[in-house]
Structure 1
Amino acid sequence: MKQTGTQSDHSRLEGLDHAGTGRVFWNLGMASLCERAVARGEVRLSEAGALVVTTVQSGQEISLVRVDDTARASGEPLPETVSGYASVLTRAQFEALKTDLLAYVGRRTLFGQDLCVEAGAGQRLPLRVLSDQAWHALLSRHLMRPCEATDMGETVPRLTVLCAPGFRPTPETHGVAADGAIALDLANGLALIAGTARSEAIRAALARLIDGPLTDAGVLPLDGVAAIGTAGRVALFLGTAGAGKSTLAGALARGQGEDGAPARLVDGALGWGEDGLVALENAAYARPADLARLAHEAPGFGAVLENIALDPASRTPDLAEAANTDVSRVILAQPSTDGAREPKLGPPAQLFVLVQDASGALPAIARLNPAQALAHCLACMDATPALAELYGPRLHDLLAGHAPGCWLVNTGWIGGAAGVGRRVSLEASRRLVDAAQAGELATGDWRTDPHFGFEVPTALEGIDPRLLDPARAFANRSAHDAAARALAGEFAARLARLETALGEEARDTQPGMAVAAE
């Protein structure tokens, strides 16, 4: 591994062809990277020392593509089993992009970071990020854990990200029609990012690269939130975007920490393996609105504020204005002095699958058996048949091995569709999640829902009974039954596509919902 701060020319880039005669600064620390990013005019400084960067004009449209050695031409329709990719590239197109991108960075200064990801059972997956932007190196250092010499030795990283925001790919030569591209050669562990400086491009490239090796190591990659309480009990929150994972997990973590013992929140990329959950990312990567709700400390020295306005006089960032902007992000480094960077979290004691029911037919909380939990998790991951076949058996084994309490939490509507019914309040959702985590719900009575098959508590102190029995919130029970039958039918249709992955036990369930929630 290169030593911190040393330079080399591009000819020493392991895993890449000769890239010219420019310099590479390897593994600079946070202070050095901040200094260089400011000196190079990449960023501005906030009054607290955060780096403020504007990327919204860079790569307005980002295309995620992958090389396919069997592809005959760019733009061919992708099979249904390929999830999230805009198109495939031929090997020739990818190699042309790689050659031209390397020629572009060949006379430029690059910043390299050697990083690693915990892969369970004491395994660490080495990876490398290179960019001609110093703040990208800082971002990467925040996102992933910097490797110590003992982690890598002289090992060549299996996975490499090379980022050149100023290079614009062309559809004629490179098969990419968008302004910016994330081009993946998964077989060779290489991601090329061109035409965009946005942090989400680097984060997405890292996530796609580590997905396969993690799965091979028996670790299931997840996008969720883990709240770790004072007794080490872990609550895992999964669900659709905007369903409230960060908010509910943050409230739970704060509540558990009231006795003075430390509580912890891990929001973002997680891995679930035999030993439990691991944090795949090292930083807090959040929208400004989430940062405010979770009561994080103000972004200070070394934090990255992306597409957030600064007051021209005071240099104070306007987090309120950026709160609901899709392209605004706050990336905070985790402290390194109190063990917060320890990635191992342990097995989940509770699993909460969050959905936003737009029909109003679901109760605010329900208890799931393992088969129902498996179906709901795959549904909220929007799994294709191929992805379900890959993840389904592993998730089944993890649910069986760790046996968490499994819950479906509806943060959407009750008593009718949006505009007719009423939204489940944040206070009610918090109360229900707290009761499930504390075991309070286990002492009450339950009913089995006739449409979805899951169990629903009949009452909880402080909760409107209509939140637990939505039929009472509709104008009449027949209206609820019609909405519930339609919702169950939609979900059953989705499960039919995942039949092979779910297994006999899960195929026989009618667990409910994830379709109308999206």
Structure 2
Amino acid sequence: MIHKNLTATQLIEKSLRHHETHLSADGALIAISGKFTGRAAKDKYIVRDPSTEQLVDWGAVNQPITEKQFQQLKSKVLNVLDSDESFYLDLSVGADPRYAMPLSVRTEHAYQALFAWIMFREPLSDYGHHELLKPFTVYAAPSAHADPDEDGTRSETFIAINFAAREVVIGGTKYCGEIKKSIFTVMNYYLPQMGIMTMHASANSGDNEESAVFFGLSGTGKTTLSADASRHLIGDDEHGWSDNGVFNFEGGCYAKAIKLSPTAEPEIWQACHTFGTLLENVVTDENSRVVDFDSDKITENTRAAYKINKIPNHHPDGTGGHPKAIVMLACDAFGVLPPVAKLTPEQAMFYFLSGYTAKVAGTEAGVTEPQTTFSACFGAPFMALHPTRYAELLAERIKKYNASCYLVNTGWWRGPYGVGERMPISVSRRIVNAAISGELAQVEFEIDPIFGFQIPKALPGIDSSVLKMRNTWQDKAAYDAQERKLAGMFLENFKKYADKVSEAVRSAGPNVQDKVA
């Protein structure tokens, strides 16, 4: 039996009756995803056919499968969905109707459908009807498992996209993020072909409609820093940037909930204590059902999915003007990058293509502590095209709309991970607010001799001594060694883009005498 377009309350009731979930003391729905508490990044596939052959950036991220393999996997998913109750929703992606895509989602579990209802948008009465944005369908059945020998997969788990058939099939995992990110990959494939920049970024706007964009991987602070009571939240994770401005893809937020603070993140805290919110892998007391956001008993990658309208100052249209400030967030486990650095347009391209951060524990299966990574465009797992295509679109828009760009370290200071401390949210928020208001652009800067970017000499409200990261370390020689090590890693990583960018961009990275050969 297929339940079509049930309300959120009906889906919650079904989920509870089926013992898929339980309620928290505040009425939020608690779901435990089992084996996978993060994305199965190595189990993602795209059908290789004449339409995708030349466009997709094939490799470890975008692994090819055949049409036949896809149909085998789809058959296994449909066998599960057709064998018992399943849940179907008509939805859409994209707040700007000119670039919106109709979406259908069919799931095995009621709470998965609730997640889709939260994350995506209501169907529209009229769309832009662009040829590339015809309806897409997601089928998700955790009980469906691949046979690696028979289906040519790496494991029993799979997330497979067929652009020609306009379908996604997901099996072997209950982690809700796979539904969301598969459609983000779809938008990252289609919209750049239309000249629209797609961004793994949060965004907010002021009363004047000027927006700010925050690039960053999971755990770098996109959701936290964009949910600011003084500004209007456009969205926390996935956006497009057209000639009309910025627009959110989604209708909900998917925030990391570990160590959630009512003082540092009051809007998100409140959203997590209301009926209709879905808390994934969050620990509750067995008797009182009170949520313990500090517990990582299940995973550090605890999540909260809630409608964006639960943030009081959200932007009702999910759109904003052209950004005047672009913030690239990096969770630096080395403790080397400064709290903030101003970037030239060429440096912005360099650091955007580098996408440096540390994967925070739990965001992917097998990641149990921060790991240094370079993820192109701050979202390589979701980028279907070559990274330079997104970088070119970003550079065009920075130049056209005169946006200021900053690199902000939300990772460690006073030493590396294991020695130092995580950057206080209050410091990062002060910096971001100064960047958005234009205050930061007016202060005096000095050039970092190794990385070449500009570091502010002073910023009201922040101790000037901490703006240069070296000052926060007790062992200055250890800092110097770490800085050169990280600089070398940037240079080594960027080699793969060297023949695809201009000399100005190639020269925008770190400058060390003993550059990696």
Q: What residue in structure 1 maps to residue 390 of structure 2?
A: 391
Partners of 1:111 and 1:130 within 8 A in 2: yes
The CA deviation at 1:223 is 1.9
Q: Secondary structure at the match of 2:186?
A: helix
Q: Does 1:126 align with 2:102?
A: yes
Total equivalences in the alignment: 474
1:274 is aligned, of 243, 265, 277, to: 243
Counterpart-to-counterpart distance in 2, 1:93 and 1:119: 34
Cα deviations across residues 15-71 of structure 1 (Å, max 9, x unaligned)?
A: xxxxxxxx3232222222223223333332334433222222479984523244479
Cα 1:450–1:27 change in 2 (3 A) is same
Counterpart-to-counterpart distance in 2, 1:304 and 1:318: 15
> CA RMSD for the aligned pairs?
3.5
More moved, 169-178 vs 464-473:
464-473
Query: What residue ranges of structure 1 are gaps of 5+ in the alignment?
Result: 1-22, 72-78, 258-262, 514-518
Counterpart-to-counterpart distance in 2, 1:420 and 1:174: 46
Q: What residue in structure 2 maps to residue 114 of structure 1?
A: 90
Q: Please show how residues 354-433 of structure 1 align to structure 2 within 5 Å.
A: 354-380=329-355, 382-383=375-376, 387-413=386-412, 417-418=416-417, 424-433=423-432
Partners of 2:451 and 2:487 within 8 A in 1: yes
Partners of 1:447 and 1:458 within 8 A in 2: yes
The CA deviation at 1:406 is 0.9
Q: What residue in structure 2 maps to residue 15 of structure 1?
A: none
More moved, 317-326 vs 170-179:
317-326
Q: Does 1:456 align with 2:455?
A: yes
Partners of 1:120 and 1:219 within 8 A in 2: no
Counterpart-to-counterpart distance in 2, 1:402 and 1:323: 46
The CA deviation at 1:423 is 5.6
Counterpart-to-counterpart distance in 2, 1:69 and 1:114: 27
Cα deviations across residues 236-271 of structure 1 (Å, max 9, x unaligned)?
A: 222344333333333xx23x26xxxxx336212222
Q: What residue in structure 1 maps to residue 363 of structure 2?
A: none
1:141 is aligned, of 108, 117, 124, to: 117
The CA deviation at 1:310 is 3.7
Cα deviations across residues 389-441 of structure 1 (Å, max 9, x unaligned)?
A: 32121111111122211111223445754466666444433333333333333
Counterpart-to-counterpart distance in 2, 1:57 and 1:65: 17
Q: Secondary structure at the match of 1:335?
A: helix
More moved, 283-292 vs 126-135:
283-292
Q: Please show how residues 160-239 of structure 1 align to structure 2 within 5 Å.
A: 160-239=137-216
Counterpart-to-counterpart distance in 2, 1:103 and 1:414: 52
Cα deviations across residues 112-141 of structure 1 (Å, max 9, x unaligned)?
A: 111111275723211111113222222111
The structure with more radius of gyration? 1
The CA deviation at 1:374 is 1.5
Q: What residue in structure 1 maps to residue 4 of structure 2?
A: 26
Query: What residue ranges of structure 2 are gaps of 5+ in the alignment?
Result: 51-55, 356-373, 513-517
Q: Does 1:434 align with 2:405?
A: no
Q: Please, what TM-score do these two structures have when normalized by structure 1?
A: 0.80
Counterpart-to-counterpart distance in 2, 1:458 and 1:61: 40
Counterpart-to-counterpart distance in 2, 1:486 and 1:30: 50
Q: Please show how residues 234-273 of structure 1 align to structure 2 within 5 Å.
A: 234-250=211-227, 253-254=228-229, 256=230, 263-264=232-233, 266-273=235-242
Cα 1:416–1:107 change in 2 (3 A) is closer
Matched to 2:375, the amino acid is D
Counterpart-to-counterpart distance in 2, 1:294 and 1:267: 13
Partners of 2:254 and 2:305 within 8 A in 1: yes
Counterpart-to-counterpart distance in 1, 2:210 and 2:57: 39
Cα 1:363–1:34 change in 2 (3 A) is closer
Q: What residue in structure 1 maps to residue 17 of structure 2?
A: 39
Cα deviations across residues 290-327 of structure 1 (Å, max 9, x unaligned)?
A: 75342121432222122234444444333332598335
Cα deviations across residues 69-108 of structure 1 (Å, max 9, x unaligned)?
A: 479xxxxxxx9842524x5433322222222332333332
Partners of 1:24 and 1:112 within 8 A in 2: yes
Counterpart-to-counterpart distance in 1, 2:117 and 2:422: 40
Q: Please, what TM-score do these two structures have when normalized by structure 2?
A: 0.80
Q: Secondary structure at the match of 1:272?
A: strand
Q: Secondary structure at the match of 1:242?
A: coil
The CA deviation at 1:376 is 0.9
Q: What residue in structure 2 maps to residue 345 of structure 1?
A: 320
Matched to 2:353, the amino acid is L
Partners of 1:363 and 1:456 within 8 A in 2: yes
Q: Secondary structure at the match of 2:493?
A: helix
Partners of 1:282 and 1:341 within 8 A in 2: no
The CA deviation at 1:158 is 2.9
Matched to 1:211, the amino acid is N
2:305 is aligned, of 315, 331, 334, to: 331
Counterpart-to-counterpart distance in 2, 1:150 and 1:335: 22
Q: What residue in structure 2 maps to residue 6 of structure 1?
A: none
Counterpart-to-counterpart distance in 2, 1:140 and 1:367: 38
1:98 is aligned, of 74, 94, 107, to: 74
The CA deviation at 1:212 is 1.0
Matched to 1:110, the amino acid is S
Q: Does 1:510 align with 2:488?
A: no
2:265 is aligned, of 287, 294, 306, to: 294
Cα 1:468–1:37 change in 2 (3 A) is closer
Q: What residue in structure 1 maps to residue 254 of structure 2?
A: 285
Counterpart-to-counterpart distance in 2, 1:58 and 1:420: 30
Partners of 1:121 and 1:275 within 8 A in 2: no
Matched to 1:134, the amino acid is A
Counterpart-to-counterpart distance in 2, 1:308 and 1:376: 34
Q: What residue in structure 1 maps to residue 30 of structure 2?
A: 52
Cα deviations across residues 277-300 of structure 1 (Å, max 9, x unaligned)?
A: 211121121122375342121432
Cα 1:355–1:104 change in 2 (3 A) is closer
Cα 1:227–1:346 change in 2 (3 A) is same
Partners of 1:360 and 1:417 within 8 A in 2: yes
Cα 1:330–1:472 change in 2 (3 A) is closer
Matched to 1:294, the amino acid is E
Cα 1:476–1:306 change in 2 (3 A) is closer
